[in-house]
Structure 1
Amino acid sequence: MTDKVNGRARPAAGERTSADGCAGADGPPLAGVTVLELGTMYAAPTAGRMLRDFGARVVKVEDPATGDYARHWTPQHEGLALGFARLNAGKESVGIDLRQPAGRDLVRRLAARVDVVLESFRPGRLEEWGLGYDVLAADNPGLVLTRVSGFGQTGPYRERPGFGTVAETASGYAFTNGWPDSPPTSPPFGFADSIAGISAAYGTVTTLLARSRTGLGDVVDVALYEPLMFILGDMILRYTSTGEVQQRVGNGSGSASPRGIYPAGDGRWLSIAASSQRIALRLFEAMGHPEFADDPRFATNTARMEHNDELQGIVAAWVAARPRAEVLADLDRHEVVAAPVNDARDVVEDPHFRERTLVDLAGTVLGPALVPGPILHLGGYPGPVYDGVPEIGEHTEPALRELLALSPAELAGLGAERVVGPLRAGVR
């Protein structure tokens, strides 16, 4: 049983495909790439998931006793943290205690056998452990070391700790997010972490491409705040060229009108983005006000911005007069850019998202569950299967046997010293 993605077959939940867990005769684009993930929480594991989505093998190193701290976050269902499940399905978990020299030695040896090491420790920690890039690259010149940290590996703030909330405030995002009379606002999800993780995956693949020409790896240095600062648009350019500090403008863009989120007559919400001249004119037609095209208050975007409050009131009143479905149908007929403001139920029940975007997360205690799939689609690659979330150290024994050729006796000795674990009872 299959779904269709870009016209190609995608395996349904639980359907077995190639050994790397991905379908398609052509093979996934990152087939053969092995990633050693030392990252925890959100940003680095997001990068690991992005790489795994396109066929990389991701071996996740966790503390044998506690695992990735994200395992303890809420919300949870049947003892499984939903955020951890979303980012780590399909990865292998190897339990290694990095606080012990023997554990760090194992990681060094593993780094010599992989293509990418992905880490999110505070800058300088790997170097303190004798695992800096100079050491790892001496053993493996083609290694890509992708580093995600709060403020980056260089600069005056490099040693500061940083989580997503700090990145969202330091970057300028929180200051510009919200309404003029509301306080600066951060989002209720890992926004900065996710953007940084996607950027780290992009940097990793870029460096792997360069390695294909030179044979040499490199360091990818991602600060949590920098990708977020980049997507803030013209905030910095605006200040440095005009001296203007961008302020909060609510749901408007501050640069085009009409644009915003409006309640319909049934209490449901929708968005309209008439951000170009042609779309604005089509909106006026849909509203039954074609004469606005010649009205000096609304004829151009500059004029509309000067009379934005007045125009927004007119649009809001038109939307509020009817149920959301009717308004959206009118907007669709006039090719106005608009969409419902969806909650989770709306997304799951939407046929477009069910066909293109949402995929099954199988083999877990969550039961029948869906997660967003890869963030982009390739015509020649049908996408991964998300089947199972690893237990802490579930793959310690098979991964270390395969990658380092450790014998059962060596594994048992490391297990007895609690350097690795947990091990199956049969390891002697």
Structure 2
Amino acid sequence: MPNPQSQAPLTGVRVVELGSMYAAPTAGRMLRDFGADVIKIEDPVHGDFARQWQPAHEGLAIGFSRLNSGKRSVGLDMRQQEGRTVARQLISKADVVIENFRPGRMEAWGLGYAELAADNPKIVMTRVSGFGQTGPYSERPGFGTVAETASGYAFLNGWPDTPPTAPPFGFADSIAGISAAFGTAMALFRREMAGQGSEVDVALYEPLMFILGDAVLNYTSTGTIMQRHGNASGAASPRGIYQAADGTWLSIAASNQSIALRLFEAMGRPDLKDDERFATNTARMANNDAMQQIVIDWVGSHPRSEALEILDKYEVVAAAVNDSKDVTEDPHFSERTLVELANTVLGPALMPGPILHMKDYAGPTYDGVPSVGQHTREILVDELGLTSEDVDSLASNGVVNAS
């Protein structure tokens, strides 16, 4: 039986990740998940700042572990010319370089796309920044929180009587990282077809703004500024999150007419089909408070498991509102989605695996989390042909961490 890893679609692709924190390392993980060899360059003393994030267990940051398992770490001081020289040599032998510095930094270091493409015409350079490489805001710093507000997301998230709300996790960063991996894959495909590399430019806010695109189109076509609707969508009714009789929660999305009619049957209210207030989505939206109250009352009269069983019988789109314990104990997620992060101080731990599945590729393993500079010596010796003495000299000058 063939080794599943041999079927990985990006086997043989080498990525140099000059990324820290969230978005660029997310892109690196996406590529590593499908077979790429990802060499992570990080500060030789402190490493990626994400190593200092909370929560952590026995000094190992949970978020860093999830995004960086399986990568190889090179501790390299990019502030020193010798460090930049080593980075350029590594990139010259790579297929992809991912970076998330503020626009202009790589050029100031002599590592812009023109310089890297001169060394390696087939290089794919994927760049992630707050506001992109072009435009009036390109030089501004940016993190996910800024992207979530600038894109319009925070304005639409929350309830009508609450302030705009940012998510409690790296939402914009994650979407930008996935988008960067998608752009990288497209650039690699183009390279195969045309024989040349390219530059991929991802702004943190743009993938999120794309998802929110209806709000912009609505305003520019009708002059209406979409507002916060809480758990409702503002587009279809009934939709929302409802509390069951046992105090737990579930979601229902009757987002098209056939599902809404099946929901009426599931609730024992077929009469609603003929009620002019609820017969169509337009009517239901006009009478949404009344529509929602009917669903609230019905869900609130059943324990969650019973309500979900009824909804499933009538093929109504619904699900439990899961916490992390629910997710890890769910047999569907255990079979399809969750993978083990092994050989760390976190113990036998589970986390979400790749974001999609491909036939004939079983997916990667996640074995250990690299320490800062764990692979410096082997990579500089094996890939660049430096001697062990060369590496020792660089280490003595603080250029590399070769511990």
User: Do Structure 1 and Structure 2 share a fold, with TM-score over 0.5?
Assistant: yes
Q: Tell me the CA shift for residue 27 of structure 1.
A: 2.1
Unpaired segments of 5 or more residues in structure 2? Answer: none
Q: State the partner residue of 2:266.
A: 286
Q: State the partner residue of 2:18.
A: 38
Q: Is 1:115 the equivalent of 2:95?
A: yes
Does the aligned pair in 1 maintain the 2:375–2:402 contact within 8 Å?
Answer: no
Task: Output the aligned Cα RMSD.
Answer: 1.0
**SS state of the match for residue 379, structure 1?**
coil
Q: State the partner residue of 2:170.
A: 190
**Letter matched to residue 30 of structure 1:** L
* Match of residue 320, structure 2, among 315, 337, 340: 340
Q: Is 1:162 the equivalent of 2:142?
A: yes
Structure 2 CA distance, aligned partners of 1:192 and 1:79? 26
Structure 2 CA distance, aligned partners of 1:30 and 1:274? 39
Q: Tell me the CA shift for residue 421 of structure 1.
A: 1.0
Q: Is 1:396 the equivalent of 2:396?
A: no
Give runs of aligned pairs for residues 21-420 of structure 1, distance below 5 A.
Answer: 23-24=3-4, 26-420=6-400
Q: State the partner residue of 1:12.
A: none
Q: Tell me the CA shift for residue 79 of structure 1.
A: 0.5
**SS state of the match for residue 109, structure 1?**
helix
For normalisation by structure 1, the TM-score amounts to: 0.93
Provide, for residues 363-408 of structure 1, a one-character-per-residue CA deviation record: whole Å limited to 9, x for no partner: 1010010010000000121100010100000000001111101111
**SS state of the match for residue 181, structure 1?**
coil
Provide, for residues 177-218 of structure 1, a one-character-per-residue CA deviation record: whole Å limited to 9, x for no partner: 000000000100000000000000000000000000111101
Structure 2 CA distance, aligned partners of 1:279 and 1:25? 41
Structure 2 CA distance, aligned partners of 1:42 and 1:402? 29
Structure 2 CA distance, aligned partners of 1:29 and 1:62? 26
Q: Tell me the CA shift for residue 26 of structure 1.
A: 4.8
**Letter matched to residue 348 of structure 2:** P
**What count of residue pairs does the alignment treat as equivalent?**
403
Structure 2 CA distance, aligned partners of 1:42 and 1:169? 17
Change (3 A) 1:178 1:25: closer
**SS state of the match for residue 245, structure 1?**
coil
**SS state of the match for residue 404, structure 1?**
coil
Structure 1 CA distance, aligned partners of 2:389 and 2:162? 63
**SS state of the match for residue 344, structure 2?**
coil
Does the aligned pair in 2 maintain the 1:143–1:217 contact within 8 Å?
Answer: yes
Does the aligned pair in 2 maintain the 1:27–1:381 contact within 8 Å?
Answer: yes
Q: Tell me the CA shift for residue 229 of structure 1.
A: 0.3
Q: State the partner residue of 1:6.
A: none
Matched-pair identity in %? 67
**SS state of the match for residue 142, structure 1?**
coil
**SS state of the match for residue 389, structure 1?**
coil
Q: Tell me the CA shift for residue 232 of structure 1.
A: 1.2
Structure 1 CA distance, aligned partners of 2:382 and 2:196? 24
Does the aligned pair in 2 maintain the 1:146–1:221 contact within 8 Å?
Answer: yes
**SS state of the match for residue 261, structure 2?**
helix
Give runs of aligned pairs for residues 6-17 of structure 1, distance below 5 A.
Answer: none
Structure 2 CA distance, aligned partners of 1:78 and 1:70? 15
Structure 1 CA distance, aligned partners of 2:292 and 2:22? 38
Does the aligned pair in 1 maintain the 2:239–2:255 contact within 8 Å?
Answer: yes
**Letter matched to residue 175 of structure 1:** F
**Letter matched to residue 202 of structure 2:** V
Does the aligned pair in 2 maintain the 1:164–1:190 contact within 8 Å?
Answer: yes
**SS state of the match for residue 40, structure 2?**
strand
Does the aligned pair in 2 maintain the 1:358–1:372 contact within 8 Å?
Answer: yes
Does the aligned pair in 1 maintain the 2:238–2:260 contact within 8 Å?
Answer: yes
Unpaired segments of 5 or more residues in structure 1? Answer: 1-8, 10-17, 424-428
Q: Tell me the CA shift for residue 418 of structure 1.
A: 1.0
**SS state of the match for residue 360, structure 1?**
strand
Does the aligned pair in 2 maintain the 1:26–1:380 contact within 8 Å?
Answer: no
For normalisation by structure 2, the TM-score amounts to: 0.99
Structure 2 CA distance, aligned partners of 1:288 and 1:334? 11
